[in-house]
Amino acid sequence: MDQLKIGRFISNCRKAKGLTQMQLAERLNITDRAVSKWETGRALPDASIMLDLCSLLEISVNDLLSGEVVAMENYNKELENKLIEMVKQKEEADKRLLRMEVVIGVLSVIVLFVPLFIAAYAPLEDWQRVILIFTGFIPAIVGFAYAMKLEQVAGYYKCRHCGHTYVPELKAMYKAPHMGRTRYMKCPNCGKKSWQKKVLNRE
Ligand SMILES: [Zn+2]
């Protein structure tokens, strides 16, 4: 796939619709920076956003991925189906990651607290208690960090104010207060803070 050609094509289609990068971005609930990245060939639109982009620009997925309007006789329905399949597969994969996060989270709590209980109630020397506490503490921290990483890469967070969906930076997630997977974070699009829910697709 020729990213530069695709970028120029997106840019031309957008202009033909009389839209600025900002206006296109708003309709797709993404940042204008993302649109600029596509148009300069530095990135391809995320599969989850490609169908919406195509319907806005009134082009087919074939056109988009070819970087030009494809003649009807060369139209490849397979490609379109493949993309829809890709979006579904990502959703399934994300669901699996989130289930894994729960398992790792629960295991981390167990390895943290079981040694703590033993240390508290078993007749042990002090140095033995210290070792016990650390044996639980270290794997638990690793487990929690890993669970957080899974939560970051699976799906998106959605801003309550503007509906923008995005993948937050790990740093922002660590700092954010949370209830389950709903996190209080600042939206990179509108800059407002809200309790943002985890969503699996960008609709
Ligand atoms: Zn927002």
Q: Phi then psi for 125, rounded to 5 degrees?
A: -75, 160
Query: For residues 64 and 9, is the Cβ–Cβ distance under 8 A?
Result: yes
Cα 187 to ligand 1 centre (Å): 5
In this predicted structure, the answer to whether residue 22 has a pLDDT above a threshold of 90 is yes
CATH class of 3-75: mainly alpha
Expressed in angstroms and rounded, the spacing between residue 111 Cα and the centre of ligand 1 is 38
Confidence of residue 73 (pLDDT cuts 50, 70, 90): confident
Q: Poorest-confidence range of 64-68, 84-88, 91-95?
A: 84-88
Instruction: Lowest mean pLDDT of 52-56, 86-90, 118-122, 188-192, name the range.
Output: 86-90
Residue with tokens 């087919």: 60
Ligand 1 centroid vs 163 CA: distance in angstroms?
A: 6
Average pLDDT of the segment spanning 12-32: 93
Query: Residue range 128-151: average pLDDT?
Result: 90
Using pLDDT thresholds of 50, 70 and 90, give the confidence band for residue 25: very high
More confident position, 166 or 11: 11
CA dihedral 59, 60, 61, 67 (to 10 degrees): -50
pLDDT at 19 (0 to 100)? 96
Q: Where is average pLDDT lowest: 37-41, 81-85, 148-152?
A: 81-85
Angle between helices 47-57 and 21-28 (to 10 degrees): 120
* 169 token code pair: 């930076």
Q: Which of 84, 89, 198, 87 is nearest to 150 (CA)?
A: 198
> 59 Cβ partners below 8 Å, 6+ apart?
13, 69
- pLDDT of residue 82 exceeding 80, the answer is no
pLDDT exceeds cutoff 80 at 121: yes
What is the residue-averaged pLDDT of the chain? 89
Sheet hosting strand 165-166, strand order edge to edge: 165-166, 156-158, 193-199, 182-186, 178-179
Mean pLDDT of 37-61: 89
Distance (Å, whole) CA 166 – CA 173: 12
* 177 or 77, higher pLDDT: 177
Q: How far is the CA of 192 from the centre of ligand 1 (A)?
A: 6
Compute, in angstroms, the gap from residue 199 CA to the centroid of ligand 1: 14
Residue 203 pLDDT = 56
Identify the residue with better confidence: 112 or 86: 112
For 71, the 3-state DSSP assignment is: coil
Question: Two tokens at 25?
Answer: 């971005």
Is 200 a residue whose pLDDT tops 90? no
Q: CATH 1.10.260.40 residue ranges in the chain?
A: 3-75
**What would the mean pLDDT of 166-193 be, rounded to a whole number?**
91
pTM above 0.75, yes or no: no
Question: Ligand 1 centre and the CA of 155: distance in Å?
Answer: 17
* Ligand 1 geometric centre to CA of 193 (Å): 8
